[in-house]
Amino acid sequence: MSSFWSRSSDDPADFLFPRRSAPTSPTGPPAAQSSFPFSFDSSSSDDDFPSGPRRPKFIQSSKTSFLLGEKLGEGAFAVVREGIDQNTLRLVAIKVLDMRRIKKMRGGAAAVVREVRVQKRLKRHPNLIELIDVIRPKHSSKTYIVLELSNGCTVAQLADRNNGTLPHTQVANYAYQVLRGLHYMHGKGVVHRDIKPANMMLNVNGTLKISDFGVAEFLDEYNQNDNVSRTSGSPAFQAPEIARGDADYSGMKVDVWALGISIFLLITGRIPFQGDNLVQLFENIGRGTFEMPPELPHDIQHVLSQMLTVDWRQRASVGQLLRHPWIVRGSLIHSDSQMEQLGWIKIPAVRANILDAVRRLYVDDADMVQTSALTEDAHPQDAASDAASAPQREEPLSMARAFSTISCCIC
């Protein structure tokens, strides 16, 4: 039986950092037929887009092409852009990694490989952001990680629209969805290690998806325990065992603690452990003493006390929390009118700016067709001769048909 760690032909390590191999034949399977009635410019560079109108840029995978749009966010070594699948018109998020810079960072290359391996193991789940594709173009220093795109905001952004807090029932619903995602993830031998409201993506229909697997870790499949020893994640959400520098601890219980901190933050608007600096913060977390707001309902106080237990051996598990009365009530499906009565904060829809790029492409395509028609009128004999020798071109899709298709893919 082959191990998950063996270097198979589709191993991300081989793909992201390919070994030297013999040249391949230029022949291959025909490119997938596009749903777009136009062609892309594939010769553009990997540099960031300039501002203003620009020639469309796409990246080619083995099955399809993705049109790149505007920035959604950026970090030290990566930029996240909007994207759209040329074949299915599905909107996606594309993480653009500068591998030259990442390779210079200690452990950077290994972290990218681990992130891809983690998401390849986690197949489709309603509460996890899906990995769609990984693309490493030839003669390029960039790697493109294509991910599912949520059409709402993060839970942190939603809370910011309401002075940093959310209604108790809404928090319970989001906690239930996170626990569902963690239950599946832990069952696959993966711990997230950076659970926080900023890594909880929302669709406008209320579905929550855990995102950002950059510091996720595999559990030892040959160890009955779920012990881990590497530390990472956001300081304010770190568990006491990490703050104290314990040699090993339960990775699953670290995710439970971080979710408990997230619930406390979303309900009260503050972090339970404070510190003037990182050392003081970790000292306070390590002691694990905090003030439980007395005005909180008893069931919320109880679930928080179960999740924020200092001794990770006594801390509640994901399975136990999914059976907690407060979490069970959070799993109930509410109608729009009920959510309005409960004071739920409405999830704002994020405008897909890449549709503007698609619109420009259709306008350019229409202009090209019009120019061709004028040429035929001016030189009918030449145009007839050219038409007889040229391959037949598919008529452009109407804008209404194209955007009705795209709108179906947004959710």
User: Cα separation of 397 and 38, whole Å?
Assistant: 10
Q: Give pTM, 2 decimals.
A: 0.74
pLDDT tier, 197 (very low <50, low <70, confident <90, very high otherwise): very high
In this predicted model, which residue has the larger pLDDT, 241 or 396? 241
Binding residues: 95, 104, 212
What's residue 388's pLDDT?
52
Report the pLDDT value the prediction gives residue 367, as an integer from 0 to 100. Answer: 52
User: What is the mean predicted confidence (pLDDT) over 64-86?
Assistant: 86
Strands 249-250 and 227-228: antiparallel
Q: Residue 59: its pLDDT value, please?
A: 86
Q: What percent of the chain has pLDDT over 90?
A: 39
Please say if the pLDDT value at position 11 is more than 70.
no
Residue with the bigger pLDDT between 401 and 66: it is: 66
Q: Which CATH architecture has domain 30-148?
A: 2-Layer Sandwich (3.30)
Summarize pLDDT for 323-360 with one digit per residue, the tens: 999 999 999 988 889 999 999 999 999 888 888 777 77
SS3 state at 45: coil
Identity of the amino acid at 173:
N
Query: What percent of the chain is predicted at pLDDT more than 70?
Result: 70
Give tens-digit pLDDT for 220-260.
Answer: 543 444 444 444 557 889 899 888 888 778 889 999 999 99
Average pLDDT on 311-319 reads: 94
Catalytically active residues are 194
The DSSP annotation for 211-265 comes to: ---TT-EE--TT-SS-EE----S-GGG--HHHHTT-S-EEHHHHHHHHHHHHHHH
pLDDT at 198 exceeding the cut of 70: yes
* The pair of three-digit structure tokens given for residue 308, joined into one six-digit string: 């924020």
Close Cβ partners of 288 (under 8 Å, ≥ 6 residues apart): 240, 308, 309, 310
What are residue 210's DSSP bridge partners?
Answer: 128, 200
397-403-405 Cα angle (round to 5): 85
Query: Would you kindly state where each structural domain of the chain is located, as residue ranges?
Result: 30-148, 155-341
Tell me how crowded residue 172 is: count the other CB atoms within 10 A of its CB: 25
- Identify residue 262 by its one-letter amino acid code: S
pLDDT (tens digit per residue) in 139-153: 788 889 999 999 999
Which residue ranges are tagged as binding site for ATP? 95, 104, 212
Rounded CA gap, 75 and 136, in Å?
20
Query: How is domain 155-341 classified at the CATH fold level?
Result: Transferase(Phosphotransferase); domain 1 (1.10.510)
Q: Quote the mean pLDDT of the chain.
A: 77
Least confident among 71-80, 118-127, 154-163, 311-320:
71-80
Q: Is residue 329 packed enough to be buried (19+ CB in 10 Å), middle (13-18) or exposed (0-12)?
A: middle
CB of 210 closer than 8 Å to CB of 193: no
pLDDT digits (tens, 9 = 90+) for 15-66: 454 443 444 444 444 444 444 333 333 334 444 444 445 566 888 888 888 9
The beta-carbon contacts of 7-13 under 8 Å, at least 24 apart in sequence, are 12/113, 12/116, 12/117, 12/120, 12/134, 13/113, 13/117
